[in-house]
Amino acid sequence: MASIEPFSLSVPNAQLEQLSQKLSTTNFPDELDEAGWDYGAPLADIKRLSKYWQDKYDWRKAEAKINELPNYKTPIDIDGFGTLDIHFVHQKSPVKDAIPLLFAHGWPGSFHEVSKILPLLTSSATPSFHVVAPSHPNFGFSSPVTKRGFALPQYAETCHKLMLKVGYPHYVTQGGDWGTWITRIMSLLYPSSVRATHINLIRGHAPTFFSNPILYLQHKFSPSSAREKGGQARTNWFVKEGRGYAAEQETKPQTLGYSLNDSPVGLLAWIYEKLHDWTDDYPWTDDEILTWVSIYWHSAGGPAASLRIYYEVAHDAEFGLPRTWEYVPKVKLGLSYFPKEIVVFPKAWGRTMGPVAFESEKERGGHFAAWECPEELVGDLRVMFGKGGGAEGVVEGKNGYGVEIRRGKL
């Protein structure tokens, strides 16, 4: 436990004053009549949120709520990149033999997404979990990276070494968005430690006759269900209308970074669009939206740093996204399908990703499952790792059951 220190967030007053000044001098664009959401975030919404951010939003209240979490920082040495200070939340369960679980966030999320599922996962309900939720490098309150080439293997290395450092040589993972692809690479590189992984952004490939003849025939000759047709429509929408952000972040993140680092309203619009488009009519409050955005604005590396993962992964020929869609053996896989995920492929595709130990199809929910549908996500994890579940007992001596012990953080 050496060199693991408690962390308390305290944004300097000068930074908050600068933010207020920038908000007060915003030069808003015009907007076409009846534009709605077709052209991006509506002007009326952004003006309302900007005004609220400047006049009424209480960052100190949000900051105090974040500081109620068991926050820590610790240095992690990453091969070829030196030492990075990693911020993470670590909540232990009161249940003896709780299952160690790494929660991996994505973009435009953060460690903050764990806050709704944390009390559920670490409660006395069984199976129970010890939960570790880091801010990835370049995100939140972890160090930014200053060298090129920090891609999925390095994010995976960071998470794995963090789990070892806090005392979990064997563990399971849960991830969405980049958290899916990071934990997939963790399963590939560290299968003796990662005993099972659960994801809610699911890709895979259409099964082929030579790789999986039974799955291929089932997929080819089974008529598409109404749900699969809905998933195809959702995927088509994203490919055609929803992924322009990724093309920019994969190719010229530095150029975009100037705007996001300098303009809080630009950052707000960039993220707010995703919170609207990627969820299943989730009723975002203004405070929720501005806390998500503020975590990026006040992050250790600034908003631009979080974009670079797109470039690095897109330019990694060996461990790019296509590698994460392929079959990964040895590590059991859980799949939860939410209808308003940004892409929704047939279940047969997901089954090509690894030895599937759990599947579920949810009636509601989108990209940010831990925030939109915390009870449903936790319920799936309890079924997957519980008695009779496909991943029961995967961590030796840590099955999530047992007598309660005194609650502690570390």
Query: One digit per residue, pLDDT tens: the chain, 410 residues?
Result: 469 999 999 999 999 999 999 999 999 999 999 999 999 999 999 999 999 999 999 999 999 999 999 999 999 999 999 999 999 999 999 998 999 999 999 999 999 999 999 999 999 999 999 999 999 999 999 999 999 999 999 999 999 999 999 999 999 999 999 999 999 999 999 999 999 999 999 999 888 887 788 887 877 778 788 999 999 999 999 999 999 999 999 999 999 999 999 999 999 999 999 999 999 999 999 999 999 999 999 999 999 999 999 999 999 999 999 999 999 999 999 999 999 999 999 999 999 999 999 999 999 999 999 999 999 999 999 999 999 999 999 999 999 998 554 544 45
138: left (phi over 0), alpha (psi -120 to 50) or beta: left
Integer Cα distance of 277 and 342 in angstroms? 9
Whether 372 and 366 have beta carbons less than 8 Å apart is answered as yes
Integer Cα distance of 251 and 358 in angstroms? 36
Integer Cα distance of 302 and 141 in angstroms? 10
Whether the upstream peptide bond of residue 127 has omega within 30° of 0, thus cis, is yes
Whether 357 and 334 have beta carbons less than 8 Å apart is answered as yes
Integer Cα distance of 293 and 303 in angstroms? 9
pTM of the model: 0.95
In 108-191, which ranges are E strands? 129-134, 171-175
Integer Cα distance of 334 and 309 in angstroms? 25
User: What residue type is 36 in one-letter code?
Assistant: G
CA atoms 324, 310, 193, 133: torsion sign: negative
Whether 307 and 253 have beta carbons less than 8 Å apart is answered as yes
Integer Cα distance of 114 and 92 in angstroms? 14
